[in-house]
Amino acid sequence: MLRKILIGLVILIAIPFIAALFIDKDYAVEREIVISRPKSEVFEYIKYLKNQDHFSKWAMMDPNMKKSYTGTDGTVGFVSAWDSDKDDVGKGEQEIVKIAEGERIDYELRFLVPFESTSPAYMTTESISDNETKVAWGFAGHMAYPMNLLIPLMSFEKIIGDDLATGLGNLKVELEK
* CA–CA dist 124, 103 (Å, integer): 6
pTM of the model: 0.83
pLDDT tens track, the chain, 177 positions:
888 999 999 988 888 878 777 777 787 899 999 999 999 999 999 999 999 999 999 899 998 999 999 999 999 999 999 999 988 889 999 999 999 999 999 999 999 988 788 899 999 999 999 999 999 999 887 777 777 677 677 777 788 899 999 999 999 999 999
DSSP 3-state percent helix, strand, coil across the chain (nearest 5): 35, 35, 30
Report which DSSP code applies to 52. Answer: G
CA 111 to centroid of chain Cα atoms: 11
User: How large is the angle between the packed helices 156-175 and 39-46, nearest 10 degrees?
Assistant: 120
- Strand segments, DSSP code E, in 36-177 are 66-70, 79-83, 91-100, 104-113, 117-129, 132-142
Report which DSSP code applies to 116. Answer: -
Quote the radius of gyration of the chain (alpha carbons, Å): 20
The pLDDT assigned to 124 comes to 98
CATH of domain 25-175: 3.30.530.20
Burial tier of 147 (Cβ tally within 10 Å: 0-12, 13-18, 19+) = exposed
Residues forming a β-bridge with 136:
32, 124
Nearest to 148 by CA among 28, 17, 30: 17
Domain extents in the chain:
25-175
* CA–CA dist 50, 124 (Å, integer): 17
